[in-house]
Amino acid sequence: MNADASAADTGAEARPEGTGTGRLVLLTTSHRVAPGLLSFPAWQILRAADRVLCADPDHPQLPYLREAGIEVETAAVPAARDLVDYCVPGDRTAVVLTSADGESALTDGLARLAGSGRETMPDLELLPGSYDLPGARLLDLVQVMDQIRATCPWSGIRTHRDLAKYGIEEAYELVEAIEEGDREALREELGDVLLQVVFHARIAQDDPDEPFSLDDVAGGIVEKLIHRHPHVFGEAEAATPEDVRAHWLRMKAEEKQRDSVTDGIPLAQPGLALAAKLSFRVRTAGLDVAPPAGEGIGYELLALAIRAETEGVDPETALRAAARAYRDAVLAAEGGAGA
């Protein structure tokens, strides 16, 4: 029996007794869901089963099953032949609570018996006892990062400052994947950026004076998103993207209470992006500040960046697009010269 078979759906409801061939159920659970939180069909079949087996004596579900009065055999799971012989003659139900690694020997044996065409088989079912919620794999990432931080000689001694350059590199690689339209690269680069967030949060957890965790990071951004979207989570209205932007800017201003519109602008960002950000802040604040007069290409680029931002064009993105076109022209020229 293949663990991925569509037979998984057949466990959704308890079947009537007396079908004559018995029932063998493989019950799966997710380590990403708190133990004891099983589906109603799972509890039904566990209570009704004639025999419940689990090869892992440390399975996290066992204390909760025992608390519910369900007796579980924790010796090695019998072979497929033995379980078939148990279920079929007496029309009995056996439930196997699968381990984290699955029960490949049992499922392979059941597949061979069923495929022979010479065996009377019990009803074979794969019943999910718990399902992962969206985002559940993030728990795996946190767990893996914990293990790496505790045991890896390199990762275990990294600091925020050590990782700063990687955050910049990964952000640029993400932007490149977006601009190139490469979906596979986009997925990978998003993962690399996410790693930076989780790694920094794990380092912060070890701080002796002001520790915080990934939960604190996530909680902070959740609160910020809710506060800045009163049209989604409150009673405010926003019919257009411009309305949403106005809400966002107003809420952000209330939160930051800045002394200057330039507060919070990272001066280390690329020059065109920096100029555009300054221009945006000045424009949205309603200030009338003329660009400084000066000689040289820097002042000319500043004027171009302000003009681009005013016209709704991101100068950094526009320049990168032009630079890529220039690169393609270089490649074409090199190909022509080579030919």
**Are 66 and 119 part of one and the same domain?**
yes
3-state secondary structure 140-201: HHHHHHHHHHHHCCCHHHCCHHHHHHHHHHHHHHHHHHHHHCCHHHHHHHHHHHHHHHHHHH
In this prediction, residue 335 carries a pLDDT of: 85
**Which structure tokens are listed for 271?**
């020059």
Q: Tell me whether residue 233 is in a domain.
A: yes
Q: Which two tokens stand for residue 221?
A: 């951004």
Domain count for the chain: 4
To 10 degrees, the CA torsion angle through 307, 311, 312, 316? Answer: -30
What residues have CB less than 8 Å from 321, skipping those under 6 apart?
A: 179
Q: Answer yes or no: do 108 and 171 share one domain.
A: no
Judgement on whether residues 121 and 165 belong to the same structural domain of the protein: no
Instruction: Let me know whether 37 and 111 are in one domain.
Output: yes
- Hey, what are 322's tokens? 């032009």
Question: What φ, ψ does residue 257 adopt, rounded to 5°?
Answer: 50, 55
User: Are 250 and 156 in the same domain?
Assistant: no
- Please state, in angstroms and rounded to a whole number, the distance separating the CA atoms of residues 13 and 125: 11
**96 and 177 housed in the same domain:** no
Q: What is the pLDDT of residues 285-314, one digit of tens each?
A: 888 999 998 889 999 999 999 999 999 999
Q: How confident is the model at residue 133 (pLDDT cuts 50, 70, 90)?
A: confident
Q: Identify whether 246 is part of a domain.
A: yes
Residues 162 and 235 in one domain: no
Percent of the chain with pLDDT strictly greater than 70: 93
pLDDT of residue 15: 44
What single-letter amino acid sits at 307? R
**Has residue 339 been placed in a domain?**
no
Least-confidence region, from 27-31, 67-71, 130-134, 178-182: 130-134
102 Ramachandran zone, left/alpha/beta (phi>0; psi -120 to 50): left
Q: Can you give the pLDDT at residue 337?
A: 62
Among 50, 47, 29, which Cα is nearest to 38's? Answer: 29
Reduce the DSSP state of residue 210 to 3 states and report it.
coil
Residue 115 lies in a domain: yes
Strand partners, 23: 93, 123
The CATH number assigned to the domain holding 64 equals: 3.40.1010.10
pLDDT, tens digit, for every residue of 91-110?
899 999 998 778 889 999 99
The SS3 call for residue 216 is helix
Q: Which of the listed residues 229, 258, 287 is the one where a domain comes to its end?
A: 258
Residue 176: which of 188, 164, 186 has the closest Cα?
186
pLDDT per position as a tens digit, 224-268 = 999 889 889 988 888 899 888 888 877 877 777 777 888 888 888
Q: Which two tokens stand for residue 331?
A: 């490649």
Is the residue at 71 inside a domain? yes
Q: Are residues 322 and 297 in the same domain?
A: yes
Give the separation between CA 189 and CA 239, rounded to whole angstroms. Answer: 34
Domain assignment of residue 35, yes or no = yes
Q: Are residues 237 and 140 in the same domain?
A: no
Query: Closest by alpha carbon to 196, among 151, 224, 221, 166?
Result: 166
Give percent of the chain with pLDDT exceeding 90.
65
280 inside domain:
yes
Residue 5 is assigned to a structural domain of this protein: no
Q: Are residues 34 and 123 in the same domain?
A: yes
Q: Indicate if 117 and 51 belong to the same structural domain.
A: yes
**How does pLDDT run across 39-62, given as a tens digit for each residue?**
999 999 999 999 999 999 999 999
Task: Identify whether residues 67 and 98 lie together within a single domain.
Answer: yes
CB 91 within 8 A of CB 21: yes
Average pLDDT of every residue of the chain: 88
> pTM of the predicted model, to two decimals?
0.68
Domain carrying residue 291: 270-334
